[in-house]
């Protein structure tokens, strides 16, 4: 990723509408599936970026993150989270080391040259009975300037993500689209990008009324995914469990 994108992420991740909403959806899925465990989980965030998700994961258990970017790890250390340098294709942990493994918007990157091998690594380091949660951008028709700015390789369908998990030997417990309510706005923005030739990422803050409204839309989705999977959206979440 471009170095300047990490600085934008570091500033935005805690409160910006998309990050806050995606975090709420992530934990709606994880907390429901992981409830009733006898002890706090050991957690790996694979491709932890600037470490904000890792900070929230650490509030639920013992958490460590890995990322391939030294720039990203520098921001993680500023947050005070536990990190190491590694890529998804070769995680430096023994088999079955973690109860939860998360990977948020990482598998789609250009530097993940083999997403099936990366998913196999995520599955390898989770214990039998443990959880793997991945999130990736969805739908090729939404490709736009943001994808180029953050070095995207692919936007996925839900079926493709389910295939990745099942190919790694995981039992898929949930697979849902997200950022559903705002999908028409996202599609319009992507179309406008193509028409105008705009460059650059979408990371940044909107005027306060839009920040509030968009955040509320994703918080509503976080409540909805507790009951049902959403049929279409700009992101895909998939939660798998490693068979015992």
Instruction: Give the pLDDT mean for 10-28.
Output: 95
Query: Is 1's pLDDT higher than 70?
Result: no
pLDDT of amino acid 156: 95
Give me the percent of the chain exceeding a pLDDT of 90.
77
pLDDT in tens, 168-216: 999 999 999 999 999 999 999 888 888 887 776 777 889 999 999 999 9
> Which phi and psi angles does 48 have, rounded to 5°?
-80, -5
pLDDT band at 2 (very low <50, low <70, confident <90, very high): low
Whether the per-residue pLDDT at 96 is higher than 90: the answer is yes
Q: Six-digit token pair at 172? A: 């898929």
Calculate the average pLDDT of the chain.
93
pLDDT confidence bin for 87, thresholds 50/70/90: very high
Read off the pLDDT of each residue in 227-232 and give the average, rounded to a whole number. Answer: 94
Domains annotated on the chain, with CATH:
3-241 (3.40.50.150)
What are the tens digits of pLDDT across the range 44-77? Answer: 999 999 999 999 999 999 999 999 999 999 999 9
CB 238, CB 170: distance < 8 Å: no
Check residue 98 and give its pLDDT: 98
Give CA–CA dist 96/117, Å, rounded: 17
Strand duo 62-67 + 83-85: pairing: parallel
How far from chain centre, in Å, is Cα 163?
17
- Radius of gyration in angstroms for the set of CA atoms belonging to the chain, rounded to a whole number: 17
pLDDT at position 3, please? Answer: 67
Question: For residue range 104-147, what is the model confidence (pLDDT) as tens digits?
Answer: 999 998 888 899 999 999 999 999 999 999 999 999 998 887 78
Burial class (CB within 10 angstroms; exposed 0-12, middle 13-18, buried 19+) of 31? exposed
Three-class SS state of 139:
coil
Condensed to tens digits (0 to 9), the pLDDT of residues 145-180 reads 778 777 788 999 999 999 999 999 999 999 999 999
> In the chain, which residue ranges form alpha helices assigned H by DSSP?
3-12, 17-34, 52-58, 70-79, 115-125, 145-149, 158-167, 183-196, 208-224
pLDDT band, residue 5 (cuts 50/70/90): confident
Calpha distance 134→158 (Å, rounded): 11
Structural contact between residues 140 and 153, judged by C-beta atoms closer than 8 angstroms: no
* 55 CB neighbour count, 10 Å cutoff: 19
Q: What are phi and psi of 16, to 5 degrees?
A: -60, 145
pLDDT for 38 equals 73
pLDDT higher than 90, residue 8: no
Per-residue model confidence as pLDDT tens digits over 31-41: 999 887 778 99
β strands within 62-151, DSSP E: 62-67, 83-85, 98-104, 126-137
């Amino acid at each position: 990723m471009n170095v300047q994108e990490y600085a934008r992420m570091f500033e935005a991740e805690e409160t910006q509408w998309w990050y806050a909403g995606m975090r709420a959806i992530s934990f709606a899925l994880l907390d429901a599936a992981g409830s009733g465990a006898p002890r706090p989980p050991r957690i790996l965030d694979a491709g932890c970026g600037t470490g904000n998700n890792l900070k929230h994961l650490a509030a639920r258990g013992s958490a460590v993150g890995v990322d391939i970017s030294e720039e990203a790890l520098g921001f993680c250390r500023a947050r005070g989270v536990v990190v190491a340098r590694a890529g998804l294709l070769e995680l430096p942990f023994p088999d079955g080391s973690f109860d939860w493994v998360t990977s948020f918007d990482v598998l789609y990157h250009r530097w993940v040259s083999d997403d099936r091998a990366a998913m196999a690594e995520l599955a390898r380091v989770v214990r039998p009975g443990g959880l793997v949660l991945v999130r990736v951008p969805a739908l090729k028709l939404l490709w736009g300037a943001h994808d180029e700015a953050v070095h995207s390789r692919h936007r996925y369908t839900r079926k493709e993500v389910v295939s990745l998990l099942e190919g790694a030997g995981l039992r898929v417990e949930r697979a849902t689209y997200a950022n559903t309510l705002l999908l028409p706005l996202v599609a319009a923005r992507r179309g406008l990008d193509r028409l105008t030739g705009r460059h650059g990422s979408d990371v940044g803050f909107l005027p306060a009324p839009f920040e509030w409204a968009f955040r509320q839309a994703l918080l509503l989705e976080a409540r909805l995914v507790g009951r049902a999977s959403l049929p279409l959206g700009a992101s895909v979440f998939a939660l798998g469990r490693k068979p015992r």
